[in-house]
Structure 1
Amino acid sequence: MTHWNLALDMAQRLRGHWRRSLRVPLQGRRAILVLHRVLPDEAAARLPHRAPYCLGPESFKHLLMSLVEVSRIVCLDTALKPHHDPRACIALTFDDGWRDNAEVAAPLLEHYALPASIFVTTGLLGRPRGVWWEVIGEGLWQGRATQRIHDALCDAGLPAPPLPPAHPGHAYSEALLGYLTQLRQYDPLTVNATAEALYPDLDQPPHGLDPFSVRRLEHGGLFRFGAHGVLSESLEPLSDARVCWHIRRSRDDLARLCQAPLEAFAYPDEQPSARLRRLARRCGVRQALAGRGGWLVPQLDPLAIPRIPISQPVAQSPGRLYDWLLSSWQPIDVRATVN
C-alpha cells in the first residue's frame, strides 16, 4: 500500500469513528446488507480477487459485533417496515447460496441468535456445478490445468487470462481481479458455458448448498431462503424469455424445497433496469432486491429494493464500516416507468 493509500485509509477510519460517535445519523434508519461468502481462512479472504465478495471468520465476527453496537439485526421483513427505534434496523442477506454460508457463517449467526436471508442460485443446489468466476479464478490461482483454462477461454472468443507464476502472490491476485471484472462485460451465456465445460477437469468441490443444509437451516428458524436465479449470470443482457425462465424456475425450485420461501427475489444485477423490473412483475414478483443502492427510504420501489454491499476490507474495520454505511449512497433510479 502506498503512503497516499495509507493516508486515505486512515482518514476513512477516523471519519467513520467520528460518524459512529454521533449515533444520530442511524436513528430510525433501515438497511439491507448483502454478502456472499464467509471463508474459513481470513488470509484467503483478504486476497484482492476474493476480498470484494468474501469475508473470513474474523472479519465476519467483527462485522456482526460492530453492527450490534449501534443497530438491531433483524429479519428481512422487519427491515422493510418503517420504525421509530433509536437504533437502526439492519437485515443481513447472502447471495448465491454458497456452501460456506452453512459451514462458516451459519454457526456464528446461530451462536449470537442473529437472523439472515440467503438468496439461492438454485442450479447449484446439491449439484456438481460451480460459479463461473470461482471455477475460472480459483482454477488459475491454484494452478490447476491452467493451459486448459487458457485454451478454453480463447476458443470461446473470450480474452486470454493471465497465467499464474510459480508462486502466486498479491500481485497475481490483483491481476486475477482485473481479469474476472473484465469477463463480466462479455456474454454471460458464453462465460457460463465455458466454466461449465471446465469444471469437471479442475477437481473443485460443489460450490452451492445442498438441499439438506437448506432444510436444516430453515427448520432452525433463523434463516429464510429466497430465489436468485438458476445460474450465476447477469439478467440484463439476456432475452425476456431467458430472464423470465430464471425468475420462475428458481422460485419454483425453492417452493418445492422450502416450507416458507421468501416472497422476495434477488436480482444478480446491481441495479435492475426498468425492463428487468417489468419482467419481474410479469412473473408475479412483488418484492425484488437489487445488488446495491443504499439505505431504505419511504418512497421505495418494491421491485428495486436497495442493499448495501459489504466487502472484506469494510467488514474488518469498524471505522471503515461506519464510514461506508454513512457515505452518500445514491438511490436506485425509480423514475423510469415500469408497466
Structure 2
Amino acid sequence: MQALWRRDVKRRLVAGGLDIAAALARAGMMPKARGRGAIFTLHHVRPKRTRPLQPSAHLEVTPDFLSDAIERLSAEGYEFIPLAEIPARLAKPARQPFAAFTLDDGYRNNAEYALPVFARHGVPFTVFVTRGFAERTHSLWWETLAELLGREREINFDFGDGAKIMDLTSEALKFDAFDRFSSYVGEIDETTAVSRIDALARRHGIDALNITAELTMDRRELQSLAAHPLASLGAHTLTHRAVARLSAEDAREEMRQSADYVETLTGERPKAIAYPYGTRQAVSGRDWTIAHDLGFSVAVTTQPGTLCEKSASRLTGLPRISLNGYYQQPRYVSALASGIPFTLGA
C-alpha cells in the first residue's frame, strides 16, 4: 500500500535535487562535472495521455518537451552528434560540449513523434532495435502488466510459494502489484517469468504480442526510419533479457544475432548496442568485453553520468542520462547535463 507514497516522496526529493543542481550550474559551480558531453536516453515520445495505470510514466516524454530539451542544450552551446562519433570525439582535444540522443526498444512513436522533432532541429539520433519486438515473437512485459493491472480488480498468480489472489481495487495496490512482478522478473529465469506473465494476461483476455505489435515498429517501418539521414539503428539484443544474468555464450549470441538482424535491415553492421535495462544488475564488465570483442565501437548502459576523457577507456560501458517523464522542465535538462547530480550522488 506504500508504493504511491514512496514514489511521490522520491519524485519530490529528486526534483528538489535537480533544482539545486540547476542553481549551482547557473552560478558556474562544479564546471568539471559537465565533462565532455552526454548521451541522452528516451523511450516513448508521444503526446501526454491518461491510462488506468501508468507505472512506466517515467519512460514517456512529450514531443514538446523533447523540442524544449534540444533548444535548451543548443542555447548552452552543445553540438549534436551521432552516437557513433563519440569515440572519435573523445580522442580529440575538447571543443564545445556534445550531446547524442538515443531511443530504446523501437517504439512506433519514435518515428511518428520524435523524428519530426529531431528533423526540425537537425539533430541525429539512434534507435535501438530488439529483434523479438520487431518480429512480434517477444512481449514487452512491463506494457503487458500495465494493461492487465490497470483493467482488473484482482488476479490470481503463483510467485513460487503457491497461488494467491492479489487485490487490485486501488491505484496503490496496482502499483504494489507491478513492483512485485518487476521483482519477480529479476528473481527467476527471465524467459520463464515473462512467459508466465503472458499466460496470465491471456487468461484475462489480453494478447501480449498484440501489444508488442501495437507499440513497436516492424521490419518495414524500421527500414523506412533508417533511410532518414538523421536516423541510425543500433542493436538491443534478440529478446531484451538482462545480459548479466545470462551465460557468457548466451549473452554473446543475444548481442551478435541482434547486430546480424540490424545489418539485414540497413545493409550495414551497427556500431552501437544498448544493453537491455542497462543497470548495474543487468549488465556487467564481462558484457562490456563481449560487446568490444563483437566489434561494437560504442555500447551504452542506463547508469547515469556524463562523459569525460576517461570514458574513452570504457566505450562499451558508457553512461546515459534519462530524460524522465516526471521531470519535463528545461531547467532539469540543464541540471542533468551539468553532471552535478551525479557528482553529488557519487
TM-score of the alignment, normalized to the shorter chain, above 0.5: yes
Contact 2:133 2:139 in 1 (8 A): yes
Query: Which residue is equivalent to 2:48?
Result: 41
Give the alignment of 1:55-134 within 5 angstroms.
55-70=61-76, 71-80=78-87, 81-82=89-90, 84-86=94-96, 88-127=97-136, 129-134=138-143
Distance 2:309 2:162 in 1: 43
Deviations 1:136-185 (A, max 9, x none): 232211339x63xx43xx176699685432xx54x356435533542342
Distance 2:239 2:260 in 1: 14
Query: Which residue is equivalent to 1:319?
Result: 331
Structure 1, 155-164 or 258-267: larger mean CA deviation: 155-164
Unpaired runs of 5+ residues, structure 1, are 331-339
| CA positional deviation for 1:49 | 1.3
Deviations 1:212-267 (A, max 9, x none): 22111111111100111011211111122221220111111111111334312211
Query: Which residue is equivalent to 2:191?
Result: 189
Distance 1:34 1:159 in 2: 38
Contact 2:243 2:275 in 1 (8 A): yes
Distance 2:162 2:259 in 1: 31
In structure 2, the CA distance between the partners of 1:43 and 1:248, relative to structure 1 (3 Å rule), is: same
Matched residue SS, 2:267? coil
Indicate yes or no: 2:246 matched with 1:238.
yes
| CA positional deviation for 1:23 | 9.2
Contact 2:35 2:308 in 1 (8 A): no
Q: What amino acid does structure 2 have at the position aligned with 1:263?
A: K
Relative to its length, the structure with more helix (as a share) is 2
Indicate yes or no: 2:289 matched with 1:278.
yes
Q: What amino acid does structure 2 have at the position aligned with 1:309?
A: S
TM-score scaled by structure 2? 0.78
| CA positional deviation for 1:92 | 0.5
In structure 2, the CA distance between the partners of 1:184 and 1:7, relative to structure 1 (3 Å rule), is: closer
TM-score scaled by structure 1? 0.80
In structure 2, the CA distance between the partners of 1:69 and 1:43, relative to structure 1 (3 Å rule), is: farther
Contact 1:267 1:289 in 2 (8 A): yes
Query: Which residue is equivalent to 1:262?
Result: 270
| CA positional deviation for 1:29 | 1.9
Structure 1, 22-31 or 10-19: larger mean CA deviation: 22-31
Deviations 1:191-231 (A, max 9, x none): 22224445664144313211122111111111100111011
Deviations 1:100-145 (A, max 9, x none): 212222222223222110111111114264211111232211339x
Contact 1:124 1:208 in 2 (8 A): yes
Percent of paired sites with the same residue: 22
Contact 2:54 2:146 in 1 (8 A): no
Query: Which residue is equivalent to 2:217?
Result: 209
Query: Which residue is equivalent to 2:260?
Result: 252
How many residue pairs get matched? Answer: 320
Q: What amino acid does structure 2 have at the position aligned with 1:105?
A: A
Contact 1:293 1:306 in 2 (8 A): yes
Matched residue SS, 1:236? helix
In structure 2, the CA distance between the partners of 1:59 and 1:120, relative to structure 1 (3 Å rule), is: same
Unpaired runs of 5+ residues, structure 2, are none
